[in-house]
Structure 1
Amino acid sequence: MQPQTVLKEKFGYDQFRQGQSEVIESVLAGDNVLAIMPTGGGKSLCYQIPALILPGLTLVISPLISLMKDQVDALNENGIAATFINSTLDYFEVQERLNQAAQGAVKLLYVSPERLDSEQFLSDLAGLKIDLIAIDEAHCISQWGHDFRPSYLRLTDTIQRVQSQPTIIALTATATSQVATDIMQRLSIQREVKTGFSRENLAFQVVKNQNSDRYLLDYLKINRQKAGIIYASTRKEVERLTKLIEKAKLPVAMYHGGLNEMVRRQNQEDFLYDRKPIMVATNAFGMGIDKSNVRFVVHAQIPGSLEAYYQEAGRAGRDGLPSEAILLFRQNDVQIQHFFIDQSEMDEEHKQREYAKLQEMTQYASTQQCLQQYIVNYFDDHCEPCGRCSNCLDTREEQDITIEAQKVLSCVKRMDQRFGKVLVAQVLTGSKNQKIMQFRFDELPTYGLLRGDSQKEVSGLIDYLVASGFLQPSSGQFPVLQLTAEGVAVLKGQTAVTRKMAVKVQKTLPEDNELFERLRELRRDLAEEQGVPPFVIFSDKTLYSMCELMPTSLTEMLDVKGVGESKLEKYGDLFLDVLNEAV
Structure 2
Amino acid sequence: MSIKTLDILSKYYGYTSFRRGQESIINSIINKKDVLAIMPTGGGKSICYQVPALYLDGLTIVISPLISLMKDQVDALKAMGIEAEFINSSLSTSEYNEILDNIKDDKYKIIYVAPERLDSIDFIEIMRFKNISQVAIDEAHCVSQWGHDFRSSYKRIPYFIKSLGNIPIITAFTATASDEVREDILNILDLNEPDIYITGFDRENLSINIVKSSSKNRYLLDYIENHKNESGIIYAATRKEVESIYEGLLKRNVSVSKYHAGLSTEVRKKNQEDFINDDIKIMVATNAFGMGIDKPNIRWVVHYNMPQSIENYYQEIGRAGRDGEDSECTLLFAPGDIHTHKYLIEVGIENPNRKLVQYKKLQQMVDLVYSNMCYRKSILSYFGEDVENDCNNCSNCLNEGEITDKTLDAQKVISCIARMKRGYGVNMIVDVLRGSKNKKVLDLNFNTLSTYGIMKNYSSDDLKTFINTLVSHGFLDIVENPGHRGSFPTIALNEQSMKVIKKEIKVEFKEDKVTKSAYVENELYERLITLRSEIAKNEKIAPYMVFGDATLKNMASIYATSKDEMLSVSGVGEIKYERYGTLFENIINEYIIAKNIDKSTISNKKESAFKDSEYFEVNTDINLYNKLKELRLNISKVEGTLPYMVLPNNSLKEISGRYPLEEEQLNDIGGIGPVKINKYGKDIIEIVKKYVNENSIEVKWEEKKRLKLVLDGDSRKNDEITLDLLNQGIDIKDVCDEIEISLSTVLGYICDYVKENKEIKFKIDTKSLYSESDKDLILDACNKLGEEKIGAIKKELPEHIKYENIRAVILEKYINE
- TM-score bracket for the superposition, by shorter chain length: 0.7 to 0.9
Measured on the aligned residues, the alpha-carbon RMSD in Å equals: 3.9
- SS for the counterpart of 1:134 is strand
- SS for the counterpart of 2:81 is coil
After superposition, give the CA deviation of every residue in 1:471-519 in whole Å (9 maximum; x if it has no partner): 9x9xx99xxxxxxxx99xx99x9x9787533313230434242221111
Point out the more displaced range, 167-176 or 43-52: 167-176
Give 1:233 shift: 1.8
Aligned equivalent of 2:131: 129
Aligned equivalent of 2:572: 563
The answer to whether 1:522 aligns with 2:527 is no
Q: How many residues align?
A: 551
Retained in 2: the 8 A contact 1:298–1:328?
A: yes
Distance 1:50 1:333 in 2: 45
Distance 1:396 1:530 in 2: 47
Bigger Rg over Cα? 2
Match of 1:80 among 72, 79, 82: 82
Query: 1:528/1:456 Cα in 2 relative to 1: closer, same or farther (>3 Å)?
Result: closer
Retained in 1: the 8 A contact 2:296–2:323?
A: yes
Aligned equivalent of 1:389: 394
Aligned equivalent of 2:518: 509
Query: 1:497/1:385 Cα in 2 relative to 1: closer, same or farther (>3 Å)?
Result: farther
Match of 1:360 among 353, 364, 376: 364
Equivalent residues in 2 for 1:249-398, closer than 5 Å = 249-383=253-387, 384-396=389-401
Aligned equivalent of 1:159: 161
Distance 1:157 1:463 in 2: 50
Amino acid at match of 1:138: A
- SS for the counterpart of 1:154 is helix
After superposition, give the CA deviation of every residue in 1:342-375 in whole Å (9 maximum; x if it has no partner): 2234522221111111111122222232222221
Match of 2:11 among 3, 9, 12: 9
Aligned equivalent of 2:37: 35
Give 1:461 shift: 4.2
Point out the more displaced range, 19-28 or 190-199: 190-199
Q: Give the TM-score normalised by structure 1.
A: 0.84
Aligned equivalent of 1:216: 220
Indicate the percent of aligned positions where both proteins have the same amino acid: 45
- SS for the counterpart of 2:112 is strand
Query: 1:321/1:374 Cα in 2 relative to 1: closer, same or farther (>3 Å)?
Result: same
Query: 1:553/1:350 Cα in 2 relative to 1: closer, same or farther (>3 Å)?
Result: same
Aligned equivalent of 2:590: 581
Give 1:554 shift: 1.2
Distance 2:349 2:522 in 1: 52
Give 1:250 shift: 0.7
Aligned equivalent of 2:677: none
- SS for the counterpart of 2:395 is coil
Q: Which has the higher helix share?
A: 2
Amino acid at match of 1:201: N
Amino acid at match of 1:20: Q
After superposition, give the CA deviation of every residue in 1:26-53 in whole Å (9 maximum; x if it has no partner): 1111211111222221111000000011
Give 1:458 shift: 6.0
Query: 1:77/1:455 Cα in 2 relative to 1: closer, same or farther (>3 Å)?
Result: closer
Query: 1:358/1:522 Cα in 2 relative to 1: closer, same or farther (>3 Å)?
Result: same
- SS for the counterpart of 2:398 is coil
Equivalent residues in 2 for 1:184-223, closer than 5 Å = 184-189=186-191, 190-223=194-227
Distance 2:187 2:473 in 1: 38
Give 1:283 shift: 1.3
Amino acid at match of 1:352: L
Amino acid at match of 1:395: E
Point out the more displaced range, 505-514 or 142-151: 505-514
Query: 1:359/1:236 Cα in 2 relative to 1: closer, same or farther (>3 Å)?
Result: same
Distance 2:128 2:276 in 1: 36
Distance 2:406 2:255 in 1: 43
Give 1:423 shift: 7.2
After superposition, give the CA deviation of every residue in 1:513-560 in whole Å (9 maximum; x if it has no partner): 222111111101111111111011111121122123332211221111
Give 1:266 shift: 1.7
Retained in 1: the 8 A contact 2:15–2:570?
A: yes
Aligned equivalent of 1:438: none
Distance 1:346 1:326 in 2: 32
Distance 1:515 1:554 in 2: 19
Structure 1 unaligned segments of length 5 or more: list them.
409-421, 431-447, 478-485
Aligned equivalent of 1:172: 174
Retained in 2: the 8 A contact 1:297–1:325?
A: yes
Give 1:460 shift: 5.1
After superposition, give the CA deviation of every residue in 1:238-296 in whole Å (9 maximum; x if it has no partner): 11111000011111111112212222222112111111111111111131211111111
Distance 1:571 1:518 in 2: 14
Retained in 2: the 8 A contact 1:425–1:455?
A: no
Retained in 1: the 8 A contact 2:215–2:465?
A: no
Query: 1:18/1:160 Cα in 2 relative to 1: closer, same or farther (>3 Å)?
Result: same
Give 1:459 shift: 6.4
Query: 1:566/1:243 Cα in 2 relative to 1: closer, same or farther (>3 Å)?
Result: same
